[in-house]
Amino acid sequence: MRVVIPDDYQDCVRELDCFARLDSHDVRIFNDTVKGIDELAHRFADADAIVLTRERTRIDVALLDRLPKLRLISQTGKLAGHVDLAACTARGVLVAEGSGAGSATAELSWALALASRRHLVDEANRLSRGLWQGHLGQQLSGQRLGVWSYGRIGRQVAAYGRVFGMKVWVWGREGSTAAASADGFEVAPSREAFFAESDVISLHVRLNMDTHGSVTPDDLARMKRTALLINTSRAELIAEGALEQALRAGRPGFAAIDVYEDEPVLARDHPLLALPNVLCTPHIGYVEKDNYERYFGIAFDHINAFAEGRLVDVVNPDVLGALNRTA
């Protein structure tokens, strides 16, 4: 099979142990991202299968109509609205997704909390410039940690907060808060209190139509001037432009951000990069070797299963039924 893997920013996929699983296929890897339909159609023109790294490339109707040879999209991790599933099904393109990641994103969230509270990046940069101490940091112990959504990653972050001696509470939908309560975590009494009284808030909400823009300007305006907002989930959870305005106004006083509306962010063309009270990282929450071995290993297994006629674990099984009827 002809397999195309776009968006391998670090040129690391071919170095993964699991890459050997594609030895019997003709594989082409691209190390950059292109957005235009013409450019994408040219890259994918001969592909029987495409391996998507999370949602770095969008697959929509216009693109699918230019890819008559495409038979399989093998998604690393879960789909997040960047693949038009109905259009794939209508065109007989199978879509397979993988399981969630391990602890990499939760670990980065915690690293951002520690680095932000102790100004680690700035202090390290000062020392490299021949300067000594410049900031008075804060410990996390004793502070109030607010975790929005108690899913797999939120659960891990809440546990880290507990170990570090923070007063942890959770906000989210009923099922999320019920699970947190069952694990012995406090549930915030209200959304207003969650934002107003938390010293650190970490977002771990899955992005969909219902959660788009969930964090409003009013929510941010309620935060303390000393508060820290961490977002390793999705940029679109926060209302467009609201975080930049809130940081300029000083509520919250600091943010640590790993995700952006339009990625990759190049040439310092994002407004958050110009603010002194933000620590920005380039969406590295899930970019970790063990994570990649799991993500891509499952995606490559799906390709081999398809090539051997035994792929059944797909998101759009109606296509399987159609294929079986025509076989």
37-64 pLDDT, tens digit each: 999 999 999 999 999 998 899 999 999 9
At residue 324, does pLDDT exceed 80? no
Residue with token string 């008075």 = 136
Residue bearing tokens 């991790």: 77
Q: How much is the average pLDDT of 181-191?
A: 98
**Residue 101 confidence (pLDDT):** 67
Distant-in-sequence, close-in-space partners of 280: CB < 8 Å, separation ≥ 6: 256, 257, 258, 270, 272, 273
Q: Is the pLDDT of residue 325 over 80?
A: no
Q: pLDDT higher for 236 or 80?
A: 236
From residue 181, alpha-carbon distances to 93, 141, 172, 176, 186 in Å are 42, 21, 12, 9, 6
Dist CA 58 CA 46 (whole Å): 18
Q: Which runs of consecutive H residues, i.e. helices, occur in the chain?
A: 37-44, 61-64, 85-90, 104-118, 120-128, 152-163, 174-182, 191-197, 217-221, 242-249, 289-307, 317-326
What mean pLDDT value characterizes the chain? 95
Angle 117-286-233 (CA atoms, 0-180°, nearest 5)?
65
Predicted local distance difference test score (pLDDT) of residue 196: 98
Give the list of residues 6+ apart from residue 176 with CB closer than 8 angstroms, or none. 149, 150, 151, 154, 170
Domains and CATH numbers, the chain: 2-101+289-326 (3.40.50.720), 104-280 (3.40.50.720)
**What's the pTM value of the predicted model, to 2 decimals?**
0.92
| Residue 80: predicted pLDDT | 80
